[in-house]
């Protein structure tokens, strides 16, 4: 029943599917994350995709800041999961060391991806079908020493709404 409802809703007000932008510096890249973090709540999922050095951890730090966490945000490559006490719990996850998507079963993916917090996942493409069907993906490309080309896309209605709001605040930012 609910599925029909949201189908009708999306015909009336199509959520954004994808948005491309450029940032000129790490602080602007972090700012993108901060704006996004302010819009996220329980059940939020952001997958970060891009080569080493493309700024995934910088965006993750911004998202944590937007969710009101002021402490240290580093790369969780070796511990797989860092948890930050923000406005809601922020789960900063790095799948770089996963040899196979099935290794996700060695972490609490049900609680981390579908719980009461926001999951920010680096190397998300390694998560395969364990990822939520409805999520945001941020693909990052290095275009210069500090500049990045960034494409944000949503894969479902809930994160489509988040993306629509983000595009509006990103355009209106000072």
Partner 1 sequence: MAFLTIETSTPFEHVAIVEEAGVVAERALEGGRSRSDELLAAVDDVLRGAGLTVRELEGIVVSAGPGRFTGLRVGIATAKGLSAASGLPVFAASTLAALALAAGPTEDLVCPVLDARRGEVYGAVFEGEEARRLTDDAALPPSDFGDLIRGIGGDRTALLLGTGATACRSELAEALGGNGRFADPEIPIPTPSALVAAADRSRPVDPASFEPTYIRGVVPSGPGKVGG
Question: Which CB atom, from 3 or from 145, has the smaller least distance to partner 1?
Answer: 3
Identify the sign of the CA torsion 128, 134, 120, 116: negative
Question: Smallest distance, Å, CB 171 to partner 1?
Answer: 21
**Torsion angle in degrees (nearest 10) through CA of 86, 90, 96, 97:** 100
> What separation in angstroms does the CA of 24 have from each of 31, 146, 173?
11, 6, 15
Question: Smallest distance, Å, CB 144 to partner 1?
Answer: 33
Quick one: 62 exposed, middle or buried, by C-beta within 10 A (0-12, 13-18, 19+)? Answer: buried
Interface residues with partner 1 (CB under 8 A) are 3, 6, 40-45, 102, 105, 107-108, 110-111, 113-115, 129-135, 156-159, 161-162
Question: Smallest distance, Å, CB 76 to partner 1?
Answer: 17
Given its phi and psi angles, is residue 89 left (phi above 0), alpha (psi -120 to 50 degrees) or beta? beta
Question: Which CB atom, from 42 or from 71, has the smaller least distance to partner 1?
Answer: 42
Question: Smallest distance, Å, CB 36 to partner 1?
Answer: 11
What residues form DSSP beta bridges with 92? Answer: 82, 120
Question: Which CB atom, from 102 or from 173, has the smaller least distance to partner 1?
Answer: 102
Question: Which CB atom, from 2 or from 145, has the smaller least distance to partner 1?
Answer: 2
Question: Smallest distance, Å, CB 39 to partner 1?
Answer: 8
Backbone angles phi, psi at 46, to 5 degrees: -125, 120
Question: Which CB atom, from 19 or from 143, has the smaller least distance to partner 1?
Answer: 19
């Amino acid at each position: 029943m609910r599925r029909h409802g949201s189908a009708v809703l999306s015909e009336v007000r199509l959520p954004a599917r994808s948005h491309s932008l450029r940032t000129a510096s790490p602080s602007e890249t972090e700012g993108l994350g901060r704006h996004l973090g302010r819009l996220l709540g329980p059940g939020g999922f952001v997958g970060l995709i891009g080569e080493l050095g493309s700024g995934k951890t910088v965006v993750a730090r911004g998202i944590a800041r937007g969710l009101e966490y002021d402490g240290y945000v580093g790369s969780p490559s070796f511990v797989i999961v860092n948890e930050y006490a923000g406005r809601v719990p922020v789960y900063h996850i790095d799948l770089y060391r996963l040899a196979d998507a099935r290794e996700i079963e060695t972490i609490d993916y049900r609680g981390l991806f579908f719980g009461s917090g926001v999951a920010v996942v680096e190397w998300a493409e390694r998560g395969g079908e364990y990822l939520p069907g409805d999520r945001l993906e941020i693909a990052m490309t290095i275009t210069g020493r500090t500049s990045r080309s960034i494409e944000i896309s949503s894969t479902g209605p809930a994160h489509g709404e988040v993306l629509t709001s983000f595009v509006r605040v990103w355009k209106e930012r000072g």
